[in-house]
Amino acid sequence: MPLHAGGRACVNCGDPFAGAGDLCSECTPDEPRSPRLAGAACPHCHCAISWETIRRYRRSVAKGAIEVLYYCPGCRGVLEAACWMQMNG
């Protein structure tokens, strides 16, 4: 429907469309096909993991830096790495 006939413009692509909402039918995302899982899964072995079951390897390195590796308890695949400086005093 043209804008002068009461249509609306899509906020994403700018094409005119009729109906409710801010996006035209081409820019509206599809509905998820399956519900999201409540927990997380390892990208390597797909076993379920949570903050309670995840494993951590922590070490101190030169001049107060702390390194932590977060890894899967099932396959020991590295999920994330973090590093920060420890402040003294």
* Residue-level pLDDT at 1: 43
User: By C-alpha distance, which of 55, 53, 48 is closest to 79?
Assistant: 55
- Examine the pLDDT at 2 and tell me if it is beyond 60: no
Distance CA 59, CA 67 (A): 5
* Residue-level pLDDT at 35: 47
Q: Beta strands of 1-89 (E only): which ranges?
A: 8-9, 16-17, 40-41, 48-49, 55-60, 65-71, 78-85
Q: Which residue has the higher pLDDT, 28 or 71?
A: 71
- Examine the pLDDT at 37 and tell me if it is beyond 50: no
- Examine the pLDDT at 34 and tell me if it is beyond 70: no
% pLDDT > 70, the chain: 79
User: By C-alpha distance, which of 26, 31, 30, 32 is closest to 12?
Assistant: 26
**Domain spans in the chain, listed from the N-terminal domain onward:** 1-30, 37-89
pLDDT band at 38 (very low <50, low <70, confident <90, very high): low
